[in-house]
């Protein structure tokens, strides 16, 4: 069986083919970073148009790379949500049209579930139950994975997502879009004892997050600062420490509350080296284990959609021909 996956929920057009037992046979990824860089963030209309102009070429190239005819494809998986509605609709309509033309099932994939399942493509993969920390540009969630497909939302951000906080703070520090990786690199030049920013919502019980206050704390700190490189690096370091600490504290709390000792971190921010190290230390100290997708599978990609599509196809047989995008699609629904 071979499933092609199509990702167009935000600013990456990702295509991949997955085959059980063999893994990812081929993948193509086009990032729109350059397109949006001048605007300091994703411009939804530009994103949709760019997906349209790239998608069929990338699908052709992916099939070619895998050495497959289209008749060899047994299912077409596409991200149906959550994400930008115009961008989603490109993948939804192309995915469903191809499935119709190729006479195979069309599989609507939840982007956050795909992030969560990406870790299963690694040699070191956990067996449920485990707790998953999903940290992307639009979402920060803690999910109890009782079984693949059976999820309980334990907590989520009440305002900005962790990735959003990274991007907004990076902008305050004059770094380009997307800010996460650049802010993380700058933080490595900084000193961790200069700033101590709040660890939001860690002082009271619960597993929800709030990150919007952190960027305000950084903005206030910037106002009273010299514009030299070391000062910016120190600020970046203080910010990253605060986010990483907050995420780690909540993860540990979620492990304690559920009695589970395996943690998965997934989504763009889980590529962050400081977070990976911190979660590693925290789980080790508890005698547990943390699992990550490889960095390329933490950020948006077609491989996780192809794999999640395969998993979903095991549970159902295709979908009715009416279609839609779900810009807000809870992982538990
Ligand atoms: O999962 P993702 O690629 O897209 C969404 O589904 O949103 O996540 C993108 C987010 C962006 O906010 C980006 O700045 C952040 O992930 N990100 C990082 C790193 N790499 C990507 N944040 C911190 N450190 C990184 N190394
Ligand atoms: Zn994503």
Instruction: Return the higher-pLDDT residue of 228 and 11.
Output: 11
Given this model, what pLDDT does residue 280 score?
Answer: 98
> Which ligand 1 atom is at minimum distance from the Cα of 139?
7
Pairing of strands 75-81, 130-135: unpaired
Ligand 1 contact via 267 beta carbon (within 6 Å): yes
Q: What is the average per-residue pLDDT within 294-307?
A: 98
Residue of 13, 37, 44, 163 to mutate, ligand 1, most atoms within 8 A of C-beta: 163
| Rounded distance between C-alpha atoms, residue 169 and residue 161, angstroms | 12
What value, to the nearest 5°, has the Cα angle with vertex 138 and ends 132 and 139?
25
Ligand 1 contact via 137 beta carbon (within 6 Å): yes
Three-class DSSP labels, the chain:
CCEEEEECCCCEEEEEEEECCCEEEEEEEEECHHHHHCCCCCCHHHHHHHHHHHHHHHHHHHHHHHCCCHHHCCEEEEEEECCCHHHHHHHHHHHHHHHHHHCCCEEEEEHHHHHHHHHHHCCCCCCCCEEEEEECCCCEEEEEEEECCEEEEEEEECCCCHHHHHHHHHHHCCCCCCHHHHHHHHHCCCCCCCCCCCCCCCCCCCCCECCHHHHHHHHHHHHCCCCCHHHHHHHHHHHHHHHHHHHHHHHHHHHHHHCCCEEEEECHHHHCHHHHHHHHHHHHHCCCEEECCCHHHHCCCCHHHHHHHHHHHHHCCCCCCCCCCCCCCCCCC
Confidence of residue 118 (pLDDT cuts 50, 70, 90): very high
Q: Residue written as tokens 């538990």?
A: 332
- By C-alpha distance, which of 323, 317, 256 is closest to 78? 323
Phi and psi of 229, rounded to 5°? -60, -40
CA-proximal residue: ligand 1, atom 24 (nearest): 272
Instruction: Report how far ligand 2's centroid is from the alpha carbon of 114 (Å).
Output: 9
| Average pLDDT of the chain, as a whole number | 95
Instruction: Report how far ligand 2's centroid is from the alpha carbon of 242 (Å).
Output: 22
Instruction: Return the higher-pLDDT residue of 94 and 327.
Output: 94
Burial grade of 139 (CB within 10 A; 0-12, 13-18, 19 or more): buried
Instruction: Report how far ligand 1's centroid is from the alpha carbon of 29 (Å).
Output: 16
pLDDT in tens, 85-115: 999 999 999 999 999 999 999 999 999 999 9
> Which ligand 1 atom is at minimum distance from the Cα of 138?
7
Confidence of residue 227 (pLDDT cuts 50, 70, 90): confident
Residue of 81, 175, 180 to mutate, ligand 1, most atoms within 8 A of C-beta: 180
CA-proximal residue: ligand 1, atom 16 (nearest): 268
Instruction: Report how far ligand 1's centroid is from the alpha carbon of 32 (Å).
Output: 14
| Rounded distance between C-alpha atoms, residue 78 and residue 222, angstroms | 42
Given this model, what pLDDT does residue 111 score?
Answer: 98
CA-proximal residue: ligand 1, atom 8 (nearest): 268
Pairing of strands 130-135, 106-110: unpaired
Ion ligand 2: residues, CB within 5 A, are: 136, 300
Confidence of residue 317 (pLDDT cuts 50, 70, 90): low
């Amino acid at each position: 069986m071979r499933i092609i996956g199509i990702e167009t929920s935000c600013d990456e057009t990702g295509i991949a083919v997955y085959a059980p037992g063999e893994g990812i046979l081929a993948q193509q990824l086009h990032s729109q970073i350059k397109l949006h860089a001048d605007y300091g963030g994703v411009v939804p209309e530009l994103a949709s148009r760019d997906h349209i102009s790239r998608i069929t070429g990338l699908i052709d190239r992916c099939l070619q790379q895998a050495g497959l005819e289209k008749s060899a494809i047994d299912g077409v998986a596409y991200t149906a949500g959550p994400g930008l509605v115009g961008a989603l609709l490109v993948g939804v309509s192309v995915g469903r049209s191809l499935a119709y033309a190729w006479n195979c099932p069309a599989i609507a994939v939840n982007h956050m579930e795909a992030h969560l399942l990406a870790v299963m493509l690694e040699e070191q993969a956990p067996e449920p139950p485990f707790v998953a920390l999903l940290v992307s540009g639009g979402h920060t969630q803690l999910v109890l994975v009782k079984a693949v497909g059976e999820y309980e939302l334990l907590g989520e951000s009440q305002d900005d997502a962790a990735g959003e906080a990274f991007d907004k703070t990076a902008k305050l520090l004059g770094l380009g879009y997307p800010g996460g990786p650049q802010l993380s690199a700058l933080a490595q030049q900084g000193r961790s004892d200069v700033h101590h920013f709040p660890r939001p919502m860690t002082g009271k019980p619960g597993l929800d997050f709030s990150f919007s206050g952190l960027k305000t704390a950084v903005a206030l700190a910037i106002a009273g600062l010299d514009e030299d490189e070391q000062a910016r690096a120190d600020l970046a370091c203080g910010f990253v420490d605060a986010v990483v600490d907050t995420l780690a504290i909540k993860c540990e709390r979620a492990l304690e509350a559920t009695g589970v000792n395996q943690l998965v971190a997934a989504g763009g921010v889980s590529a962050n080296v400081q977070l990976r190290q911190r979660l590693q230390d925290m789980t080790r100290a508890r005698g547990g284990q943390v699992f990550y997708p490889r960095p390329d599978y933490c950020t948006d990609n077609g491989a996780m959609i192809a794999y999640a599509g395969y998993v979903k196809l095991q549970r159902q047989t295709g979908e009715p021909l009416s279609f839609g995008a779900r810009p807000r699609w809870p992982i538990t629904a």
